[in-house]
Amino acid sequence: MDRWIARRHGADALGDGSPESGEVRVMARTGAYLYAAGATLALLWLALPHPAASQDLVLVGVLALAYAGAALLWYVGHRLRRGWFDLVVAAGTLMISVAVHFSGHTTPFVLFFLWSNVYAWYFLPRGRAALQLALIGVAYGVVLAVGDHVTPPEGNRGGLIPFLGPGAARWLITIGTLLVAGMLVTALHERVERLIRRLTEERNFVSSVVETASALVMVFGLDGRLLAFNPACETTTGYGAEEIHESHISEFLLPPEEIERARREWEHVLTGGRASFESHLVTRDGDRRLIAWSVVLGRDAVGDPDHVVATGTDITERKRGERELGRRAQRQAAVAELGRKGLEGLPLPQLTAQSAALVAKHLDLDHCQVWEQTPYNGDLLLTAAVGFGAGEVGRLTIAAEEDTQPGFTINAEGPVVVDDFAEERRFSPPVPLIDSGVVSGLSVAIPGRRRPFGAIGGQTTSRRSFTHDEALFLQSVAHVLAAAIERWRSEEAIRHNALHDPLTSLPNRALFLDRLAHVLTKRDPKASQAAVMFLDVDNFKLINDSLGHEAGDRLLKAIGPRLGEALRPTDSVARFGGDEFVVLCEEVGDGRDALIVAERLQKALSAPFVLDGEEHFLTASIGVALATGRYEDPDPLMRDADAAMYRAKERGRAQCELFDDAMRSQVRGRLRMENAMRGVIDRNELRTYYQPIVSLADGSITGLEALMRWHHEGLGPVSPIEFIPIAEDTGLIVPLGAWILEDACKQIVLWEQELGVVPPPISVNLSPRQVAHAELVPMVADVLERTGVRADRLALEITESVLISEAESPWNTLQALKKLGVTLMLDDFGTGYSSLSYLKRFPVDVLKIDRTFVDGLGSEAEDSAIVKAVVGMAKALDLGVVAEGVETEQQLQCLRELGCERGQGFLFGRPRPAADTTPLLGPGDAWMPQLPGRSAQV
């Protein structure tokens, strides 16, 4: 085990290090010992009493030779070649033989043969050892033969084999003993060699494993000093084994803070025999490597603790990988969690704040900011921040220019990485941020469908190189934010659209009513009151018709801001559609104050509106209702303001009206009537009256207008002028209209049967609401079919307002009615805004000139002019003309002069029940009013 240290330290005890040279050195040394020992024993022999026959001088010479040989062997023996040792042994044998011979007696020098023999058998190959033994045998034999000092004086017995004289037995036994001793030594030697070889092999195996192992192997003495250090240790720590050999591990390999723990583990090993733990190693470069150690106590041959072996694996990368994997998993989980919150509709501001915190945490940033591009001007607004800017969230905006980091980021292709802000040239980071000591940064765009929604990024105060994985993480957070922003914005748009008028962006009816309801429930009755103002632009249809809808829309858009300027910030303006605006003043003193506000609104509108360089003047009618204690819901308050507005309209343009008690009772009356009207058909309270339409030329009845009459139990007879508008408002006009149409058609059939002649065509009034109703045409067709009345016996009267409605459908409806074959009359002509173009477009057959023009005939020159113009126009367009409300002969006269062909009015007959009309229709005595100047006309 210690070979790899020994080699490393150049401390090989055997010179050149080969086993051969080691062996020779041992042989030389041993030889030297034997020579010297032999000589010394011989010297001792000489000094002590010894046989007189001894020739001491010769012996001293041999002895000196032996000492010289010993010295030679000691100093230069290791340089001898192996073969020379045969000579060393042989020389020994000869010197022993000489010593034996001259000792004068059988001496213990014979024992020296045993030494050289054993030496030969130990160190020389078996054959050469045998040769040396033979040499000993010959030399000893010669000695015995030359002078047998051993034979006792009384002589020898002959023995069985008389061989070599009396000393032969001694010689043979000596040689035999030497042979056996030699064999034993050889066997022993071989055994020892085998053992050594095996140990060497084992040792080589262990050391090659240790040398090539990637694991760190360190061997310590029990005092903690480093004894061995394998190549893996060298590569890992950067230290060479030599430089730290014998140093204490705590001196430099362990980080200071881990020394105490290492000491505990060390004691643990010493007492328990082994330990496993992880600790850091500080390398020569100052890096730290994390090592998993397995430490065991090593024992010597006797089993006593001797050293400590520590085997370690460098797990720095693995740990780092594990940590990175763990971190990545955590980040993925965090992004998933954020995405889930986004989907579950966590409000965007919270989600954004959480994103910033999450990014700062998972990327270990000191600062993190989220910038969102505002849809209005494209500036970047700080919507969340950790660290820098945290106090300015929602307030700090910067231009989305390329010279700012977020601005640069939203225009960049991918993640923007800043290694060192001090060296950044692509954009200039804000000074306060630099002052806060940031060094590195990372930012990405929050992607949008058309352009990025913004940017998210952060900074660190220490130098950092961000990994690809970290950039990916930031991008996934940006994607979650992008989805959330997109959804939030579309939801915001939906919310806004649901509560705002698309044209003017003012609050719509729903939002206004919501606010009003809120004000009503919150209101303090003792404090000032709220007021609702219903504002309707006067004659807005005229503007639409003359300038076109597009110009009309632009005017409507301009009205909102004008009104807003005339109000206080707490007041609000809404648009209810068309040209209707509503204002809520949350604090007004009394009705008079409210009217002052209303007049201010009038004034705000009075300044000209400029469209395409042309000035236009607008006025509005305003109805005001005060939210007095009696109102709990918005609806009645709105209705009363509306009623006041209608009253204002009745008074002419640009009027204001405050809803008052008189109006209240009127409204109440209307409400009562509304209730009374429900179920009129079922209660059979309706009747149809007929008024003749006559030819002005001869007074003959050319038609009958069917007019509705209602007699209510409690209210008595109610004029259609009162109940028809209510029926219109409530929608009841649709069933009522269907009822009178059917009633009139049935009457035609009855008259046909009763009189035997075809009665004049009957005209039935259609309200605008009926014309707009989808079922009108099928209903008319159905009535005609069921009653069997021919379509040309029926005329339908519509008003101008039907024609100027914006929708396309009245045109289709009138075409369809025309197709059925019925006659279409335009009622109350002249009161609306019909222009010639309308008349051309719509399939109208007859114009009914409104009563108001007929009224002034003969007295008002203007009226005559109008009637004249209408008659002329009708003629030009090939339309029939009926003058309504003819009451006097003078009017009749005028109409005739103006060329009007037909008339209707009290002069010819009031509306009357069917039964009273029948006599007028008889074939024989057809009703002919006595018309003045009739003969002249005929």
389 vs 911, which CB is nearer to Ca ion? 911
What is the smallest separation between the CB atom of 765 and Ca ion, expressed in angstroms? 5
Region 831-860 residues binding ligand C2E, contact defined as CB under 6 A: 851
177 vs 890, which CB is nearer to ligand C2E? 890
Query: What 3-state DSSP class applies to 259?
Result: helix
34 vs 766, which CB is nearer to ligand C2E? 766
What is the smallest separation between the CB atom of 763 and Ca ion, expressed in angstroms? 7
Total residues at the site for ligand C2E (CB under 6 A)?
22
Contact with ligand C2E (CB under 6 A) among 38, 703, 885, 903? 885
Separation of CA 823 from chain center? 67
Binding of residue 827 to ligand C2E (CB under 6 A): yes
Distance separating alpha carbons of residues 687 and 681, to the nearest angstrom: 10
810 vs 885, which CB is nearer to ligand C2E? 885
What is the smallest separation between the CB atom of 744 and ligand C2E, expressed in angstroms? 9
**Phi/psi of residue 919, nearest 5 degrees:** -60, -25
Binding of residue 767 to ligand C2E (CB under 6 A): yes
Contact 232, 214 (CB under 8 A): yes
Q: Which does 720 bind (CB under 5 to 8 A by kind): ligand C2E, Ca ion, none?
A: ligand C2E
* Residue 13: burial class (beta carbons within 10 Å; 0-12, 13-18, 19+): exposed
What is the smallest separation between the CB atom of 728 and ligand C2E, expressed in angstroms? 8
Q: Residue 286: what residue type?
A: G
What is the smallest separation between the CB atom of 911 and Ca ion, expressed in angstroms? 10
559 vs 847, which CB is nearer to Ca ion? 847
Q: Residue 138: what residue type?
A: V
527 vs 721, which CB is nearer to ligand C2E? 721
Contacts with Ca ion, residue ranges (CB under 5 A):
765, 797, 827-828, 884
What is the smallest separation between the CB atom of 814 and Ca ion, expressed in angstroms? 16
Other C-beta atoms closer than 10 Å to the C-beta of 49 total 6
92 vs 911, which CB is nearer to ligand C2E? 911
- Which residue intervals of 380-467 are DSSP H helices? 405-411, 431-435
Contact 538, 471 (CB under 8 A): no
Contact with ligand C2E (CB under 6 A) among 407, 692, 760, 905? 905
**Phi/psi of residue 628, nearest 5 degrees:** -75, 175
Residue 897 carries which DSSP code? H
Distance separating alpha carbons of residues 680 and 732, to the nearest angstrom: 10
249 vs 706, which CB is nearer to ligand C2E? 706
538 vs 742, which CB is nearer to ligand C2E? 742
Contact 804, 764 (CB under 8 A): no
Distance separating alpha carbons of residues 645 and 363, to the nearest angstrom: 65
Contact 266, 250 (CB under 8 A): no
The window from 26-34, 467-475, 831-839, 900-908 that contacts ligand C2E (CB under 6 A) reads 900-908
719 vs 753, which CB is nearer to ligand C2E? 719
For CA atoms 358, 363, 364, 367, the dihedral sign is negative
Contact with ligand C2E (CB under 6 A) among 906, 919, 926, 928? 906
What is the smallest separation between the CB atom of 835 and Ca ion, expressed in angstroms? 19
What is the smallest separation between the CB atom of 576 and ligand C2E, expressed in angstroms? 26
From the list 347, 392, 335, 350, the residue with the least C-alpha distance to 367 is: 392
Inter-CA distances, 308 with 385, 394, 577, 717, 898, Å = 56, 66, 95, 125, 137
**Phi/psi of residue 461, nearest 5 degrees:** -90, -5
Contact with ligand C2E (CB under 6 A) among 99, 724, 894, 898? 724
Binding mask 674-693 vs ligand C2E (x if CB under 6 A, - otherwise)? -----------------x--
DSSP output for 493-529: HHHHHHHB-TTT--B-HHHHHHHHHHHHHH--TTSPE
- Which residue intervals of 573-631 are DSSP H helices? 591-606
The window from 88-96, 278-286, 550-558, 905-913 that contacts ligand C2E (CB under 6 A) reads 905-913
What is the smallest separation between the CB atom of 906 and ligand C2E, expressed in angstroms? 4
What is the smallest separation between the CB atom of 851 and ligand C2E, expressed in angstroms? 6
Q: Which does 634 bind (CB under 5 to 8 A by kind): ligand C2E, Ca ion, none?
A: none
Distance separating alpha carbons of residues 582 and 511, to the nearest angstrom: 12
501 vs 797, which CB is nearer to Ca ion? 797
Inter-CA distances, 369 with 249, 409, 474, 538, Å = 48, 12, 12, 54
The window from 148-156, 283-291, 745-753, 885-893 that contacts ligand C2E (CB under 6 A) reads 885-893
533 vs 708, which CB is nearer to ligand C2E? 708
35 vs 689, which CB is nearer to Ca ion? 689
Query: What 3-state DSSP class applies to 348?
Result: helix
Binding of residue 740 to ligand C2E (CB under 6 A): yes
Query: What 3-state DSSP class applies to 829?
Result: strand
Distance separating alpha carbons of residues 906 and 887, to the nearest angstrom: 5
Q: Residue 283: what residue type?
A: T
What is the smallest separation between the CB atom of 892 and ligand C2E, expressed in angstroms? 11
What is the smallest separation between the CB atom of 784 and Ca ion, expressed in angstroms? 20
229 vs 689, which CB is nearer to ligand C2E? 689
Region 690-709 residues binding ligand C2E, contact defined as CB under 6 A: 691, 707-708
Q: Which does 586 bind (CB under 5 to 8 A by kind): Ca ion, ligand C2E, none?
A: none
What is the smallest separation between the CB atom of 813 and ligand C2E, expressed in angstroms? 15
The number of residues making up the chain comes to 938
Distance separating alpha carbons of residues 195 and 189, to the nearest angstrom: 10
What is the smallest separation between the CB atom of 520 and ligand C2E, expressed in angstroms? 37
656 vs 724, which CB is nearer to ligand C2E? 724
Output the CA angle 500-506-511, nearest 5 degrees. Answer: 50
Binding of residue 765 to ligand C2E (CB under 6 A): yes
From the list 845, 843, 773, the residue with the least C-alpha distance to 807 is: 773
Binding of residue 275 to ligand C2E (CB under 6 A): no
Contact 249, 227 (CB under 8 A): no
From the list 634, 638, 639, 628, the residue with the least C-alpha distance to 668 is: 639
Other C-beta atoms closer than 10 Å to the C-beta of 542 total 12
Distance separating alpha carbons of residues 849 and 867, to the nearest angstrom: 7
* Strand positions, DSSP E, 208-344: 216-221, 226-229, 274-282, 288-299, 305-314
Distance separating alpha carbons of residues 388 and 441, to the nearest angstrom: 13
Binding mask 357-376 vs ligand C2E (x if CB under 6 A, - otherwise)? --------------------
From the list 835, 876, 166, 874, the residue with the least C-alpha distance to 545 is: 835
476 vs 904, which CB is nearer to ligand C2E? 904
Distance separating alpha carbons of residues 673 and 679, to the nearest angstrom: 12
What is the smallest separation between the CB atom of 831 and Ca ion, expressed in angstroms? 9
What is the smallest separation between the CB atom of 782 and Ca ion, expressed in angstroms? 23
Q: Which does 905 bind (CB under 5 to 8 A by kind): ligand C2E, Ca ion, none?
A: ligand C2E
What is the smallest separation between the CB atom of 720 and ligand C2E, expressed in angstroms? 3
648 vs 724, which CB is nearer to ligand C2E? 724
Contact with ligand C2E (CB under 6 A) among 828, 830, 880, 896? 828
Distance separating alpha carbons of residues 669 and 663, to the nearest angstrom: 10
Binding of residue 881 to ligand C2E (CB under 6 A): no
Binding of residue 721 to ligand C2E (CB under 6 A): yes
Q: Which does 719 bind (CB under 5 to 8 A by kind): ligand C2E, Ca ion, none?
A: ligand C2E
Binding site for ligand C2E (CB under 6 A): 691, 707-708, 719-721, 724, 737, 740, 765, 767, 827-828, 851, 884-887, 904-906, 911
